[in-house]
Structure formats: structure tokens, C-alpha cells
Chains A and B, each alone.
Chain A
């Protein structure tokens, strides 16, 4: 069994994780960003354009080589290892924070007496079982659930129409430019790492003109289209959420608000809670499965001799361990996201990749 996916699977997986990750991040960063999260999202999209373009071009420089192996050739084996190590760390942290969120929500809506370990362990085990069935299964189920998710969320959003109030988006730069920019860098880091992971997992094979195997990772246009869809969906969700009048009895406090209240009895009528609950739990599990899968994938990239299932078991053990440390706290991870993800992952890759692409072009011109 391999971690590599066909294009449809990679797109579905990457797109889904991006939507959920961005929505979750903005919903949960709400306290700092107020109702200006959507501006950060738009800025993040703009900041991400050059790196997405560079990544797409980079993976297409050598059609006969897998995307993951291009990193070796373009930079060096050490760079590849360091890059994979960072991506692994982010996947694990993301999984840990999302596991915490899922557990908090579950405890909030029903199981306030249940131990966190039980609920978190159950979630990780379920995701491990799903991933052990193979990437085809999880990515296939993402494709299925995405329609159901959109349907359920559509029902909820339409039912809330009377509560939407665009005035809640004002003032536009309410929290100030600094937090908005900081958040947008953080989201740009999320988008670019998601795109990088997505490209590395894409194993679509075709044949070149001579009949040899040709790997055709997602091209720039397709990638931009799918990223735009993901950003668009996230933007609609964030805008809808930001325009809702907070009619809950007490003001939101702490870093985790809104989603939990939407799930209980804040914004929604009782009858709406059921679709929302299903629309929440399953995507959360899929997001966890995505991070588990990508963590396993990067472990495999680092230690190629390890078997598929061993990588997944290690990844699930590491992420479960992180969930119970302070490192798994969303406040911490969100704070470092903007500071670490962009300078450590995105900017060096952008610089080195651009240099490599220019060199390649020069060589091609010289050869011709």
C-alpha cells in the first residue's frame, strides 16, 4: 500500500483539508480577529499566489520524476529531509489541535463527564482504521462527504438567512491591521503547506511521447482553480458566520467560541442542530484522517524503509501524545503558525525554487 494518490483523490483530500483548516482557524481565531477574518483570508489567498505558482512549475520541470523526488534534484536530499520534517511537525501539531477541538466540542455537546483521553483516543483510532484501509478509501469518502457536507451546511445557512446582518462586518479593520496581517500570514502558510502536501502526494501517471511513464502532478491552472474553490467556500462560510447576530445568552469568551455555540443553542433552532452536528463531526474526522495520513506520508518520506501501517501507527501515537501536552493547544499553535510556518517553510522554498526554475530556464535556453 502506498501513500501516493491519484489526482482526484489528492485534489479532494487537499481541497477538503484546506476548507476545514481555514474555516476552523478563522472561527477559532475569532476573538482576536473579530469579524475581519474574511479580510485575512483574502489577503492570505493573494500572498499564496507566487508560492503556488512556483510549486506547480517546480513539480512539472521533470515529468518522469515523482514530485517528492524533484525536491532531491532541485535542492538536495538534506533539504528534502528538513522540509519533510517541518511538514511532518505541522501535520502532527495540526492533528493534535484538531483532536482537541473535536474533543472539546464533544464534551460540550454531550459527554462532559467523559475523560478526554477516551474521546481523543477513539477519534484517533477511528482515523487510524480509516487510513489503514488505504488512501483510496479516505480520499473517496472525502469526495462523498463533501456533497453531503455542502448540502447540510447549505440547509443550515439558508435557514439562518433572516439572522444575517452585513453591519456585523463593520468596521472593516476593527481589530487593527496587525492582527489581520499576522493572521493572513498564518493562513498563507496553511494554504501553501496544504498545496505543497497536495502536490507531493499526487501520483497521477500517464505516458510521455516515447511511451515512458510520466508523472503529471496538478498543473498551475487546475491547482489555482481548486485552491480558489476552497478559498471561496471558506470565505462564504466565514462571511456567513461573521454576519450572524450573536443572540446567545452570554458573550463569547476564550479562544473557542461560536462553533460550539452554533452546535448547541446559540444561533440555531433545535431542529438545525442535528444536520450541523453531523456536518461538524464527520468533516472533523476527515480532517483528522487527512492530517494522520499526511503525517504518515512524511514519516515515510523521512524513513523510507518503514511500512505503510507502521508510519500511520507512529503518526497516530505521536499526535495523540501531542494532544495531551501544552504543545497541542490551539492558542499556541495558532500563535506560532504565522511566525514559523511562513519563514521556515514558505519563504526558503520560494527563494530556492525560484532560483532553481531560473537556472533550469537558462540551461534550456543554452541547450537550444
Chain B
């Protein structure tokens, strides 16, 4: 089959039909008509294109046009665009593959007899979810809007926040067989050029049939796919995306996905929820410390408990040791089995709670509390202290705002649990040492994953644990020092209303 259109309308229409599997594809509509005596043919996808819009802005003007088309046959398409059609966004195209692809995206294809170019008309009007509140990243203060499954809407949501011509949105399609539109958004002149070219290189060079979601793309572009720590950040919040873009990051959005991918990132980005920069600095810092402590408790506490009770009992104060021994006296399992049962039960509840319809969610809480808590203790299957340990580590896990990171912590916790059971504090610290080395060796799109702690960048500590007052923020470490994006070096310029001290 030819790859480009010919002069013959009949031939072109047949080619289009063949490519689009018409008439098997019954929702692809073909409409033949005439404009000033010249035959034309319209193709569109029912449901994806607005029928009323097509009737009103394409068919009606064409049929009502009474003047003769006194131009060369090859110029007819351009003539129609200039003088007849009432559509704002149009494009002439002669490649059959491009025409069919655009048609599937909801555009309308208009073929004119004698002309080897077709007109692509922007007629997309399909059912879509309205912009609504976020589902997985709710905050106490700050905006509540979340991304939707439409790429254009998502790009617009970010543009509404970052109103600058320097905000660039590069849109292209990926996926060889089933192409999907992808947008890369960044602040020109502020973004790290090396990271940007690396993002472009990885996304554009993918050799894949289809990328239906940002989650798929994430797995394909991360540099260390076997590493547990996520190397991109997935967010469904436009305000968070906009904030991170203003810090020199790059947002990658995929059509049909309500999540944006942010790269490059650090571990501390994953631990900062969307409202971190909105809150007053004292509150935000307190919350950061709590979250960090929560993560450490979730990661280490079960392993530490098992290491201490199995191998370092001399470190436990005698009163506590007696109490642990008494609580465990009737439990028939070794402490390792006991803790594994409890951990597995927690994972079960967690996974069931995630998949369960919201209407029966409270029932899960009751079942968990009753069966796993009270009943297990009464039946002497689990010691009460262990329930406290597991509950604390579970609570600590919930303080991690990033879902992917919280899953990572769960898996790493298991490793520490086994190391603690086998080699006590020696094993626990050794594995922790490997975890930290591994995190420090990781790079996200060329940038160190543990910055600004390792490598230590004292100017950028506000990006890690110590949240500074907003007027003390320095330029993010990812933003080039020569960038047009400036942050005030001290409080004098940002808080201009303050009287300067003499």
C-alpha cells in the first residue's frame, strides 16, 4: 500500500478504509459530500470527535459554499482552509499513517478530489473525567486539584500555575505500534541541561510497542531498574509538579495517565509531601522530623527488636527484659516466626485495604483490630509487645508520603529483619551500611540521589531535613547558578516591607 495520498479521492478513501479496517470498525464514520461541485470525503471517529461540531463547522459551511473553486486541484485543500471551514486548528497532511493516527486521536480527516493533501481538523470532543480532588496525595492545606487522564488538560493545569513563556512543553509520541502522546515540561534556562538531554534521550529512544501509562514509562527510563528505591517521583498534583518544575526538575506526562513523572529527584523529594513548602517553616520542619523518624522506625524497629531480643539481651534494661519474657512465655513460636506472622498479616491487611471498595473499608479495620490484635493475643499466638512493634512500624510507614517509597521501605524492612535475626546488631548495621552505600551510589538522571546530604551541599539543606524559612531559601542545587531564576540570597529583598536595620 502507498504511504502517501494520491490525486484520486476514490483511491485515497479506499486506502483510508483499508488502514482503518472499515467497515469492521463500525465507529469510524465516512461521509461523502460535495463542495461547489468538487467531491470530498470526511472521516472521523464517532465518540472521539464532536459530531455536532463537525456538522456545524465543517459540513454546513462546505455545503453552503456557493462560489466556484477557481484554483488548481492541488490547492483545493488550502482554499477550503482559508475560505470555507470554520475550524481554528487545521493542518495539511499527506502521509496516510499520520492521518490514521490523528483520526484515532479524535481529529477529522477531510479528503478533497484532485488534491494529494488532506486536511486534519481539530474536532476532539470525547468523554473525559472532570478535574477533581486528588485521590492519593491529599493535603491539609493547599490546592486540591488533581491531574486527569487527558494530557492537554494536565499540561493546562500546570500552565495555569507556572505562567511563564519559559515553561516549555515538548509533545511527541512514543510507542511503535500503539503510539501515545508524551509531554516533557521544564523551565527553559533554569533546568539542568544535562538532565534534560538525558530525559529526552531516554524517552525518545524507547523501542517499545506501547506505553499506556506513566507507570510503564517510569519502569523503562529509570537507570537502575533492579534497585528498590524509586528514581522518579510520581505525582497527581499539578501544584506539586509546578513547584518541582520551578526547582529545575523535569515533568514527564503521558496521555491517559493522571500522574506526572518528575526527574531528576532525590530521596528527600520523595519524603516531602505537596504541602511541605506551603506550611509555615516551623510546622513543616516539625513534620519533616516526624516523617523521617517514622520512616526510620518503620525501617529499623522490627529488625532492632529481633536483634536485641535474640542476640543482645544484655542491652535491654532488666525490667523491660522481664516484661518481654513474661509476655512471650505462652507464645509457642520463636520470635522470628512470631514477627514474620505479624509482618505478613500487616501486609495482607495493607494490600486488602488498598484493593477493597471504600464502602467496606471500615469492616477491614474491625477485622484487623479484632482478629489480628485481640484474638491473636488471647490465643497466645502473638505477644502484645510485638503488636505494638508492628503497629508502630506500620504507622511509621504511613508517614511516608510517596507510595512507591513506602513499598520500598516495607521490602527493605524484611531484609533488616532477617539480618537482625541472623547476626544481631552486627548484621543489622552491616545491611544498613549497604543500603546507604547503595542509595549514595544511585543517580537519578545524572544527579546524585542523596543530595544535598551526600554530597553535602550546605546551601541547599532546606531541600532535605532542615526546612528553612522561605525567605532564606537558596537557589535549588539543580538550577544553574547563571539561570534567570533567582532566589533571594537573604531576607532583605524578599521581605521588602521590613525596615532595614541600620
Q: Known contacts being A9-B455, A140-B441, A143-B456, is A277 close to B425, with CB within 8 Å? A: yes
Q: Contact at A282–B429, with CB atoms within 8 Å?
A: yes
B448 within 8 A of A: yes
A-B contact pairs, 18 of them (CB 8 A): A6-B455, A8-B455, A9-B455, A110-B311, A110-B425, A119-B426, A129-B437, A137-B438, A140-B448, A141-B439, A143-B456, A144-B453, A270-B315, A270-B316, A274-B315, A277-B429, A281-B426, A282-B429
For A134, A140, A270, A282, the residue with the greatest tally of chain B CB atoms inside 10 Å of its CB is A140
Q: Contact at A273–B438, with CB atoms within 8 Å?
A: no
Q: Contact at A273–B441, with CB atoms within 8 Å?
A: no
- Measured between beta carbons, the chain A residues less than 8 angstroms from B432 are 282
B312 within 8 A of A: yes
Partner of B312, one of A6, A110, A134, A289: A110
The residue in chain A whose Cβ has the minimal distance to the Cβ of B315 is: A273
In Å, the complex CA distance between A136 and B454 comes to 9
- Measured between beta carbons, the chain A residues less than 8 angstroms from B437 are 129-130, 133, 137-138, 140-141, 289
The 4 closest A-B pairs by CB, nearest first: A137-B441, A140-B440, A140-B454, A133-B441
Q: Contact at B430–A126, with CB atoms within 8 Å?
A: yes
Partner of B441, one of A111, A134, A278: A134
In Å, the complex CA distance between A274 and B316 comes to 9
Q: Known contacts being A8-B456, A141-B454, is A282 close to B433, with CB within 8 Å? A: yes
A106 within 8 A of B: yes
In the complex, per-residue mask of A1-27: 1 if CB is within 8 Å of any chain B CB, else 0: 000001011000000000000000000
The residue in chain A whose Cβ has the minimal distance to the Cβ of B312 is: A110
Partner of A137, one of B426, B427, B440: B440
Shortest Cβ distance from residue B213 to the other chain A in the assembled complex, whole angstroms: 31
Would you call the interface of chain A mostly helix, strand, loop, or mixed?
helix
Shortest Cβ distance from residue B223 to the other chain A in the assembled complex, whole angstroms: 13
CB under 8 Å from chain B, chain A span 71-101: none
Shortest Cβ distance from residue B450 to the other chain A in the assembled complex, whole angstroms: 6
Given contacts A122-B423, A136-B440, A270-B316, 15 further A-B contacts (CB under 8 A): A110-B424, A111-B423, A111-B424, A119-B423, A119-B426, A130-B434, A136-B448, A137-B440, A137-B441, A140-B454, A141-B439, A143-B453, A270-B315, A273-B314, A278-B425
Q: Contact at B433–A144, with CB atoms within 8 Å?
A: no
In the complex, per-residue mask of A257-300: 1 if CB is within 8 Å of any chain B CB, else 0: 00000001100001101100110011001100100000000000
A306 within 8 A of B: no
In Å, the complex CA distance between A129 and B312 comes to 26
B317 within 8 A of A: yes
Q: Contact at A111–B315, with CB atoms within 8 Å?
A: no
**Chain A residues near B (Cβ < 8 Å):** 6, 8-9, 106, 109-111, 119, 122-123, 126, 129-130, 133-134, 136-141, 143-145, 264-265, 270-271, 273-274, 277-278, 281-282, 285-286, 289
Shortest Cβ distance from residue A146 to the other chain B in the assembled complex, whole angstroms: 9
Question: How many inter-chain contacts with C-beta < 8 Å in the A-B complex?
Answer: 103
Q: Contact at B433–A286, with CB atoms within 8 Å?
A: yes
In Å, the complex CA distance between A277 and B434 comes to 17
Shortest Cβ distance from residue B335 to the other chain A in the assembled complex, whole angstroms: 15
CB under 8 Å from chain A, chain B span 430-461: 430-434, 436-442, 448, 450, 453-456
Shortest Cβ distance from residue A131 to the other chain B in the assembled complex, whole angstroms: 8
The residue in chain A whose Cβ has the minimal distance to the Cβ of B316 is: A270
The residue in chain A whose Cβ has the minimal distance to the Cβ of B424 is: A110
The residue in chain A whose Cβ has the minimal distance to the Cβ of B431 is: A126
The residue in chain B whose Cβ has the minimal distance to the Cβ of A106 is: B426
In Å, the complex CA distance between A119 and B453 comes to 31
Partner of B430, one of A109, A122, A133: A122
The residue in chain B whose Cβ has the minimal distance to the Cβ of A103 is: B426
In Å, the complex CA distance between A139 and B454 comes to 8
The residue in chain B whose Cβ has the minimal distance to the Cβ of A129 is: B434
Q: Contact at A140–B450, with CB atoms within 8 Å?
A: yes
Q: Contact at A143–B436, with CB atoms within 8 Å?
A: no
Q: Contact at A285–B429, with CB atoms within 8 Å?
A: yes
The residue in chain A whose Cβ has the minimal distance to the Cβ of B451 is: A140
Q: Contact at B441–A136, with CB atoms within 8 Å?
A: yes
- Measured between beta carbons, the chain B residues less than 8 angstroms from A111 are 311, 423-424, 426
Shortest Cβ distance from residue B312 to the other chain A in the assembled complex, whole angstroms: 6
- Measured between beta carbons, the chain B residues less than 8 angstroms from A145 are 436
The residue in chain A whose Cβ has the minimal distance to the Cβ of B320 is: A270
